[in-house]
Structures are given as structure tokens and as C-alpha cells.
């Protein structure tokens, strides 16, 4: 067989995989490998570096949401949200060990008040960079998706109310900085690296398991209206991968006595993270469909935006914290 023929067959196979997965798999795999290397490097250097990395990613996520919401005429106070992310995440990390939860509980109402007040201000125009990003996103949007959007045409003269701006600003504060605080919360414990692995890599493994099982065995649609690519088989694969990942981390971190009394932790995490991670993906898909856009952003090649990669991580973080707390880990 000639080299050109082999190349054509390989390209056809890759195209088939890309169609079934709904993304550019070689590009997505390369991006995922870079992210894993970046996270591992930050944890090996110093946990403080990892926390700064989380802050940076949350700030990028807020910027992506600013552009996404601007496509339908909604304005959110990005500077106030950036400041909130810095205060919530760094404050939670540097608070004394027994007072991290207290700090989160006290800071969040203040953050919501500030964001609500800033969100109620009238925005008359967008920054040029935001306008260019909005124009690019609208030009690349699928016409059918725009028709499906509940906003449909944001430029038809219908003005978005201040109340809508406030509500979406509060949603953004809860979705990005607040949920990300649960990634920071367990890092100050006895096993910060293992906890970081639980919080970041287990939901990501669930995404991989769901993608592989969905592309390979997917027959029964989970929610065809919200996400046509999601399947029941993908959900089962996600739970299996989450269980196996949690089991490996658990066995590599804790001694036999802990394993004997906490054997249920990997099993519970597998089921819980698999289900909640998939739910997080569906929530993000529903938001994108309602806005009439394909991806949250364009920063991560093959994944869309930071939130396209981190939606399951953010949704799973509070539940992982609860399991770790309940197990005394």
C-alpha cells in the first residue's frame, strides 16, 4: 500500500473519530497534555504556584463569560469579578487552617453585594477588545444555534434590563470564583497534591471516560435536546474512569489502615463525580445553547474555552470537598 493511501486512510479515521467525539481529538489531546504538565509542574514547584495558576484560570474564565454574555447584550462587571476572584481564592488559601470555611462564608455575601452593585451600573459601550471578540464569536456562530437561542437577535433594538445584568453578574460570581474556592479549600490539608489530583484530574478522567465510551458504545442518548453527543454509555464510562482514578490516587496516598476504614471513598467518588461532572457538562451545554454559541471561548485549542474544560471540575469541587471532609481526609 502506498504512503499516500495510508495517509488518506489515517485522515479518514481521524475525521471519523472527530465527528463522533464532536471535537478535534489530536488537538484536544495535545492541549490536555500541556495542561496536565502545567498543573503537575506547579504542584511540584510549590502549592502557592498552583493556587496562583487557579486564580489566573478563573480570571480567564470570567473574561470568556463576559464575551459570551455580551453576544446577547448582557454586561457583567469584569473588574469587580476579577477582584472578587482574587479575594475569594487567595483569602481562602491564606486564611488560618481552621478558618478557611469561615472566611468563605463571610466573604461570599460581601462579594455578591459588590458584584450586584457594579452590575446594576449602566454600561453604554464595550471595550474595543471585547467588541472584536464578540464580533468574531458571532461571525463563527452556527445559524441554527442562533435561532435556537432564547435571545435570538440581541441587536434587534431590545435593551437588556439592569436586573438581567445583575442576575447574570451574580450567577458569574457563584459559578466561577465561588465554586473555584472549593478547589483551594482542601489544598491546605495534609495531602495537598493528592487533594489537587482528586479535584482536577478525577473529573477530567470522567470526561475522558465519557468521551471514549460515548464514541465507542454510545447508543442511548442522555439528553439529545441539550447535548446530542452525551449518552448513557458515556455516563457509565465516566463513572468507571472516575472510580479507577480515585482508587489509584487513594492507594498511592494513604496507608492500609486508612484504606481499611475508608474503602468506600473511591467508590463513592466514582459514582458522584461521574454523575455530577456529566451534569456540569450538560449545564454548560444548556448555557451555550441558550446564548446561541458553540464554545465558551477559544483559549484552549480543541476544547474551546477554559470553562469548556473546567465545567465538570467546578461543579464537582464542592462535592469532593464534602466527601474528603466526611472521610476525615
Higher-confidence residue: 26 or 158? Answer: 26
Q: Kindly report which listed range (22-36, 71-85, 221-235) carries the lowest average pLDDT score.
A: 22-36
How far the first Cα of the chain sits from its last, in Å, is 57
Written as nine digits, the cell of 196 is 489537587
Higher-confidence residue: 145 or 119? Answer: 119
When pLDDT is averaged across residues 180-205 and rounded to a whole number, the result is: 86
Alpha carbon distance 251, 232 (integer Å):
29
Per-residue model confidence (pLDDT) at position 32: 63
Whether the predicted pLDDT of 278 surpasses 60: yes
Per-residue model confidence (pLDDT) at position 179: 92
Q: Write the Ramachandran bin of 152: left for phi over 0, alpha for psi from -120 to 50, otherwise beta.
A: left
Per-residue model confidence (pLDDT) at position 89: 92
Whether the predicted pLDDT of 30 surpasses 80: no
Where residue 213 falls among pLDDT bands split at 50, 70, 90?
A: confident
When pLDDT is averaged across residues 212-230 and rounded to a whole number, the result is: 71
Global pTM value: 0.80
Whether the predicted pLDDT of 247 surpasses 50: yes
Kindly tell me the sign of the dihedral angle through the C-alpha atoms of 102, 105, 109, 110: positive
Closest CA to 39 of 198, 272, 262, 153: 198
Whether the predicted pLDDT of 82 surpasses 90: yes
DSSP per-residue codes, 75-95? ---HHHHHHHHHHHHHHHHHS
Q: What Rg value do the Cα atoms of the chain yield, rounded?
A: 21
CA atoms within 13 A on the CB side of 175: 22
Q: Kindly report which listed range (29-33, 165-169, 195-199, 287-291) carries the lowest average pLDDT score.
A: 29-33
Per-residue model confidence (pLDDT) at position 159: 57
Whether the predicted pLDDT of 170 surpasses 90: yes
Whether the predicted pLDDT of 31 surpasses 50: yes
The mean pLDDT of the chain is: 78
Higher-confidence residue: 90 or 143? Answer: 90
Q: Kindly report which listed range (74-88, 110-124, 140-154, 189-203) carries the lowest average pLDDT score.
A: 140-154
Per-residue model confidence (pLDDT) at position 155: 47
Amino acid at each position: 500500500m502506498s504512503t499516500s493511501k495510508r495517509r488518506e486512510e489515517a485522515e479518514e479515521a481521524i475525521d471519523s473519530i472527530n465527528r463522533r467525539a464532536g471535537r478535534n481529538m489530536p488537538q484536544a489531546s495535545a492541549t490536555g497534555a500541556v495542561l496536565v504538565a502545567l498543573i503537575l509542574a506547579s504542584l511540584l514547584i510549590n502549592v502557592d504556584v498552583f493556587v496562583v495558576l487557579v486564580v489566573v484560570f478563573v480570571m480567564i474564565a470570567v473574561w470568556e463569560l463576559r464575551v459570551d454574555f455580551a453576544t446577547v447584550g448582557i454586561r457583567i462587571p469584569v473588574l469587580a469579578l476579577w477582584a472578587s476572584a482574587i479575594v475569594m481564592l487567595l483569602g481562602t488559601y491564606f486564611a488560618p487552617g481552621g478558618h478557611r470555611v469561615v472566611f468563605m462564608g463571610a466573604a461570599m455575601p460581601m462579594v455578591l453585594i459588590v458584584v450586584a452593585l457594579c452590575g446594576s451600573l449602566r454600561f453604554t459601550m464595550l471595550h474595543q477588545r471585547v467588541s472584536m471578540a464578540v464580533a468574531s464569536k458571532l461571525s463563527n456562530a452556527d445559524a441554527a444555534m442562533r435561532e435556537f437561542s432564547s435571545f435570538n437577535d440581541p441587536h434587534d433594538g431590545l435593551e437588556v434590563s439592569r436586573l438581567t445584568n445583575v442576575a447574570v453578574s451574580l450567577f458569574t460570581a457563584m459559578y466561577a470564583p465561588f465554586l473555584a474556592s472549593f478547589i483551594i479549600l482542601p489544598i491546605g490539608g495534609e495531602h495537598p497534591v493528592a487533594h489537587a489530583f482528586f479535584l482536577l484530574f478525577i473529573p477530567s478522567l470522567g470526561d475522558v471516560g465519557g468521551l471514549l465510551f460515548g464514541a465507542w458504545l454510545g447508543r442511548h442518548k442522555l439528553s439529545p435536546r441539550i447535548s446530542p453527543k452525551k449518552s448513557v454509555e458515556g455516563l457509565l464510562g465516566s463513572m468507571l474512569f472516575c472510580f479507577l482514578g480515585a482508587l489509584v490516587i487513594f492507594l498511592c496516598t494513604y496507608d492500609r489502615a486508612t484504606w481499611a476504614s475508608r474503602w468506600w471513598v473511591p467508590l463513592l467518588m466514582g459514582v458522584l463525580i461521574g454523575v455530577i461532572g456529566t451534569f456540569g457538562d450538560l449545564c454548560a451545554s444548556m448555557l451555550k445553547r441558550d446564548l446561541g454559541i458553540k464554545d465558551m471561548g477559544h483559549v484552549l485549542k480543541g476544547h474551546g474555552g477554559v470553562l469548556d474544560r473546567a465545567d465538570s471540575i467546578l461543579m464537582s469541587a464542592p462535592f469532593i470537598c464534602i466527601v474528603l471532609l466526611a472521610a476525615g481526609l
